[in-house]
């Protein structure tokens, strides 16, 4: 067995006696850490896959003190944090965690370092001090979580930020649902308009067929048709004027994209795992973009699982937001297609009446049906065409793996 003489390796000498590593591999890890300018514990965790609790037990045996692992749920007394400088704590690698009577417990990466002891006595006033060993990574998590760092770096603040973005997306989905409701109201008004025009058309045919025997009744039916058509037109126009024109389809997509900016601040994907051909429409590209963020990551430390799950919830919320935008876009297209379909029917029906009955006073009703149909086709075309490209570009919703 090779001897282990370096100080960094001696801290983990129990790994050799426990059979976790050979002395040679332990020395190799120490040289790799030194060459790259990082902590040896980082190399052992990331490259040698040594569990953290085993490293902590080895450090506990070396320093002859208890060990502590970072946990965001730890109730650290606020009075211990007053006046602490996060940068200074990062340099000397220590953090206060417990008050036990007159004793303050300090988590330190090197509990035996006298410089650390001096730093603790300078900033923490207590009768007694007790030093517990902790990994350098965990010390950094303590500092970032319990001191007020910038949003995005503080774990608690990160969850708050993620919750803010989830609320933002939920509010936008609510607005999209309101737009879809408005479109449904418009289609309801359009149904009244369509029924009114049908009554006009049917009464027009019957008046010509029965001549004068039932003219008064049929003219009454035609009047009812005009009233229904006017009521439906008013209901549709009111909704169209107040809600349906703004926002345009592009605005819907742009606002949907803006509600997903949290991906830039809270999700860092170095190497995307999904490579898809670029799509033409912005909404389709946005849907494909989410695929790279729908992967299970194993956070370090493991107590950050709640934060990781919050990120996953945000990605799922983003998927729902994209889907809601698609539903809203297609609701607009469906409304337009309903107009086009009905408009074509009435244009054809009006032309058929003129062809069959010829010209007369009632031809004005035929012309009215034709004109109404043409206006429906134009209005439906204006609703449908801006979202036509989305039909061919819709992506499959990514599912977390």
Residues 165 and 103 in one domain: no
Question: Domain for residue 312, yes or no?
Answer: yes
Number of domains in the chain: 3
Residue 49: how many CA atoms within 13 Å on its side-chain side? 0
Q: Does residue 99 sit in helix, strand or coil?
A: strand
Question: Domain for residue 70, yes or no?
Answer: no
Burial class (CB in 10 A: 0-12, 13-18, 19+), 137: middle
What is the pLDDT tens value at each position of the chain, 401 positions in all? Answer: 444 456 667 888 888 889 988 888 988 888 888 888 888 988 898 888 899 989 999 999 999 999 999 877 677 888 888 888 888 999 999 999 999 989 999 999 999 999 999 999 999 999 999 999 999 989 988 888 777 544 444 455 566 677 777 888 888 888 888 888 877 777 787 778 777 777 877 877 777 776 655 567 777 777 887 788 777 777 777 766 665 454 665 667 777 777 766 666 655 544 545 555 555 565 666 655 565 555 555 555 554 566 677 777 877 787 788 778 888 877 878 878 887 888 888 788 778 877 777 777 777 877 887 888 888 788 878 777 777 665 544 444 444 44
Residues 120 and 170 in one domain: no
> Residue 105's beta-bridge partner residues?
98, 130
45 contact partners, CB below 8 Å, separation of at least 6: 52, 55, 137, 300
- Whole-model pTM: value is 0.48
Contacts of 207-210 with CB under 8 Å at 24 or more apart are 207/362, 208/357, 208/360, 208/362
- Helix (H) or strand (E) holding 319, with range, is helix 305-357
Question: Domain for residue 71, yes or no?
Answer: no
Residues 203 and 319 in one domain: yes
Residue 360: how many CA atoms within 13 Å on its side-chain side? 12
Q: What is the pLDDT of residues 226-255, one digit of tens each?
A: 788 777 777 777 766 665 454 665 667 777
- Helix (H) or strand (E) holding 107, with range, is strand 103-108
Question: Domain for residue 401, yes or no?
Answer: no
Residues 223 and 330 in one domain: yes
Residues 141 and 266 in one domain: no
Residues 46 and 83 in one domain: no
Residues 239 and 274 in one domain: yes
Q: Domain with 104 in it: what CATH number?
A: 3.30.300
Question: Domain for residue 332, yes or no?
Answer: yes
Residues 313 and 170 in one domain: yes
CA separation for the pair 370, 344 (Å, rounded): 9
Question: Domain for residue 35, yes or no?
Answer: yes
Domain of residue 282 covers 159-393
Residues 57 and 203 in one domain: no
Question: Domain for residue 123, yes or no?
Answer: yes
Question: Domain for residue 191, yes or no?
Answer: yes
């Amino acid at each position: 067995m090779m001897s282990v003489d370096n100080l960094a390796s001696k801290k983990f000498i129990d790994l050799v006696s426990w059979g976790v590593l050979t002395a040679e591999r332990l020395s190799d890890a120490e040289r790799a850490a030194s060459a790259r300018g990082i902590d040896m514990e980082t190399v052992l965790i990331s490259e040698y896959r040594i569990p953290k609790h085993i490293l902590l037990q080895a450090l506990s045996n070396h320093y002859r003190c208890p060990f502590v692992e970072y946990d965001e749920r730890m109730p650290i007394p606020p009075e211990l944090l007053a006046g602490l400088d996060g940068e200074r704590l990062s340099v000397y690698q220590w953090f206060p965690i417990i008050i036990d009577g007159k004793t303050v417990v300090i988590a330190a990466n090197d509990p035996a370092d006298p410089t650390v002891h001096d730093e603790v006595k300078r900033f923490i006033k207590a009768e007694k001090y007790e030093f517990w060993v902790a990994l350098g990574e965990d010390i950094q998590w303590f500092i970032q979580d319990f001191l007020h760092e910038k949003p995005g770096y503080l774990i608690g603040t990160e969850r708050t930020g993620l919750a803010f973005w989830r609320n933002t997306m939920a509010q936008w989905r609510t607005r999209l649902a309101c737009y879809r409701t408005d479109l449904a109201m418009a289609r309801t008004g359009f149904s009244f308009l369509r029924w009114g025009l049908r009554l006009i058309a049917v009464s027009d045919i019957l008046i010509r067929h029965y001549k004068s025997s039932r003219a008064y009744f049929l003219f009454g039916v035609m009047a009812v048709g005009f009233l229904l058509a006017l009521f439906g037109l008013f209901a549709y126009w009111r909704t169209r004027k107040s809600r349906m024109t703004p926002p345009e389809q592009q605005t819907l997509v742009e606002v949907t994209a803006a509600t997903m900016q949290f991906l830039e601040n809270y999700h860092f994907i170095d190497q995307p795992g999904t490579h898809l051909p670029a799509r033409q429409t912005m909404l389709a590209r946005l849907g494909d973009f989410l695929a790279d963020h729908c992967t299970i990551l194993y956070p370090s430390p493991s107590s950050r699982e709640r934060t990781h799950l919050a990120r996953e919830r945000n990605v799922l919320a983003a998927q729902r937001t994209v889907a809601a935008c698609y539903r809203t876009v297609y609701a607009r297209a469906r409304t337009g297609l309903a107009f086009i379909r009905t408009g074509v029917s009435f244009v054809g029906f009006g032309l058929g009446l003129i062809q069959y009955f010829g010209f007369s006073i009632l031809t004005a009703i035929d012309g009215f049906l034709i004109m109404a149909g043409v206006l429906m086709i134009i209005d439906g075309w204006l609703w449908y065409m801006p979202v036509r490209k989305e039909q061919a570009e819709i992506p499959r919703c990514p599912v977390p793996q």
